[in-house]
Each structure stands twice: as C-alpha cells, then as structure tokens.
Homo-oligomer: A and B are copies of this chain.
Amino acid sequence: MKYNLIIVDDHKMFLDGLLSILYLEKEYNVILTAKNGKQIAKYIEINKNEKIDLVITDISMPELDGISLNKIIKKNYKNIKTLIVSMHNDPEMIENLIKNDVDGYVPKNAEKQELLKAIKTILNGEKYFSKQIKDIHLNTKLAKKREEEIKLTQREIDVITLIAKEYTTQEIADKLFLSKHTIESYRKNLITKLNVRNLAGLTKYALKMKYIKQ
C-alpha cells in the first residue's frame, strides 16, 4: 500500500528536485503537484474520497499561501498530514503554523535524508521539526515571555505611536482630547517602562513593535 502525496510549490525547479528525490522511494506516490494552494484546496474538496496522506507545501505562493492552505486542511481534513518545506524562517509564520497544528517543518536547505526522515515520521503519526525550526520556536517563546513583562496598555500605544510620528506633546494631547500633562505622564512612564532614554528610544520601540510603518 503506497502513501499518496501532494506537493505544492511555486518554484518549478524546486518541485523537480523534490520529485526526483521522492521518485526513488517506492512507497510514495506523488498524485499531484501544483504551483499554489488554491489548486490543491479545490482538488481536495472535489476528491473527498481519495486517500491523501500528506501535503508537502512551501509557504510563499501566489493565490493561496502555505499558511492558509495548512489552516484549511487542518480544519476540514483532519487525516491529511501537512509538511512545510520552506526557506522562510520567519518566527511569526512558524508560530502561526504550529498553532494551526502543522505536522512538520523542514527548511529548504535540509539534506535529502532529513526530508525523507520528516516524511516518514509524519506518516507514522508523529510531528517532525528541524532543529533550526525548533530553536526559532523556543526563542520566540522566550522572547514573547520577555515582552509580556513589559506590556503596554492601549492608551500607551496610542501615545507612543503619535510620538513616533513626530507629533509634539501638545499636538498629541489635542488629537486624543487629553491634557498636555497627561501625555507628559504617559511619555514619562513609557520611558521608564521601556527602559529607554528619550524620544529616539521610544521611536525605535514603536518601529520594532510595528506601531508605525517605516
């Protein structure tokens, strides 16, 4: 009994690479390849009765990206496993995928052996994440904990955002219909809370937290 695989990747050359690797493994049967998630989502929807064991997908793709595809699969077709093979190691993406119950994640610079190991592990019902990915996951978990310790209130975020947009205290007060003194309090608290020295530090924080766009 062969396992049925689907591969999604908009990099044609990469697809060929994967196929050439999997072609040599006789227990895997690649039933479909596609260049974006939409095609796959449609296919699965139409062929509900077909046995599909694993969807291997990249993250960044046109039309429907790997993150959304994983979400759809995990929500509606619980017995289909998903494996991400991507070179994007963006912590946010990884967190998102794990939250949505992805079964594995292997970076594109992984060895052939690791990819095969990941597929095997996942088809065996376990999860597989490359060391690199596990490390990133751990780091972001720690970073989040640290960040939670200095959590800003909504009002503080309002103020720091306007500060970073180069408004003066008086202007911010006018904008938020508050007293100038209040804004001064907020600014002072922010400087203490965020452990910075002045507007420059607040601005950098606002940028880091993406309260404003560069």
Contact = CB atoms under 8 A, between A and B. Distances in A.
Interface of A: 10-21, 85, 87, 108-112, 115, 163-166, 168, 196-204, 207-208, 214
Nearest to A111: B12
Contacts of A200: 163-166, 199-200, 202-203
A210 B166 CA distance: 19
A16 to B, nearest CB: 4
A198 B165 CA distance: 10
Contacts of A19: 20
A85 B108 CA distance: 15
A112 B85 CA distance: 20
Contacts of A15: 17
A5 to B, nearest CB: 14
A150 to B, nearest CB: 17
Contact of A108 (B13, B196, B202): B13
Contacts of A18: 13, 16-17
Prevailing SS type, chain A contact patch: helix
A201 B10 CA distance: 39
Contacts of A165: 200
A198 B168 contact: yes
A204 B164 contact: yes
Given A16-B21, A17-B20, A11 B203 contact: no
B214 A203 contact: no
A68 B196 CA distance: 39
Contact of A199 (B10, B12, B198, B208): B198
A43 to B, nearest CB: 21
Contacts of A21: 13, 16
B14 A13 contact: yes
Contacts of A164: 200, 204
Contact of A17 (B13, B110, B115): B13
Contact of A14 (B108, B111, B198, B207): B108
